[in-house]
Amino acid sequence: MSGLIGKKIGMTSIFDENGKNIPCTVIQAGPCIVTQVRTKEVDGYEAIQLGFDDKTDKSTTSAAKGHFKKAGTVAKRRVIEFQGFKEELKLGDEVTAEHFKEGEFVDVAGTSKGKGFQGVVKRHGFGGVGQATHGQHNRLRAPGSIGAASYPARVFKGMRMAGQMGGDKVKVQNLKVLKVVADKNLLVVKGCVPGHKNAYVIIQK
C-alpha cells in the first residue's frame, strides 16, 4: 500500500464536535523524496522508494551518495519502498502529508519501546499466585507451575516466562486521521502508535 515515512512527535488530545476528549498522536509525515522508481521491465515489480530525514555525508557510504545523487537529493536516514501510488512519481519528486486526507484510516508501523528484562506479570499480564499471608514468602508475582515433572519431564517450547520485553516491530491498524496540517507536514491520528518520541514510523493507507 502507498504511504510515507514519518517521525513520532508525541501524544496530545483534542476535542471533537461533541466535546469528547480524544487521545491522539502527532506524526511528522514527510516530506519524503522519491529516490528510486522500480519498474517491471528492470526490477520485475513496480514500487516507489522514498527517503526521509537528511543524513550527513560523513556517515554515508560512497555507493549511497551516488544513489541519492541520481535523485538530486542529499543522503537520507530512512529508505523504504511503497507500492500502490496512484499518482505518477519520478526521481526527485516530493511526497508530503497531503498524501493523506482527514477522516481516512491508516496503519502505522514502528518499533515498540524497549522495556528490558521483565517478569511475567508485566510481560504477559499474569495475575500473580497465592496470597500475601499464611507464611507466603516472595511468591506474589511468580509464574506458578511451568510443567509436570515425570511426564512430559520437560518444559514445552513457547511457555510464557520472564524475559526481554519490547523492541519489537509493531503495526497498529485502522487509526483515523483526525487532522492534516499540510504546511508543517503533520498528521494527527487517533490513539497511540508504537515507539518513543522521535522514533521513525511507517504510515500506510
**What is the reported pLDDT for 101?**
93
* CB within 8 Å of 128: residues ≥ 6 apart: 121, 140, 141, 142
Residue 98 and residue 33 in contact, taking contact as beta carbons nearer than 8 Å: no
What does the pLDDT look like over 15-71, one tens digit per residue? 988 999 999 999 999 899 999 999 999 999 999 999 999 989 899 999 999 999 988
φ, ψ for residue 127, nearest 5 deg: -90, -10
**Using 50, 70 and 90 to split pLDDT, how confident is the model at 103?**
very high
Average pLDDT, rounded, for the chain = 92
Given a cut of 80, whether residue 130 has pLDDT beyond it is no
User: What separation in angstroms does the CA of 97 have from each of 40, 50, 66?
Assistant: 28, 13, 27
In order of start, what are the domains of the chain with their CATH numbers?
Answer: 3-114+169-204 (2.40.30.10), 115-165 (no CATH)
> For residue 19, what is its C-alpha cell?
466535546
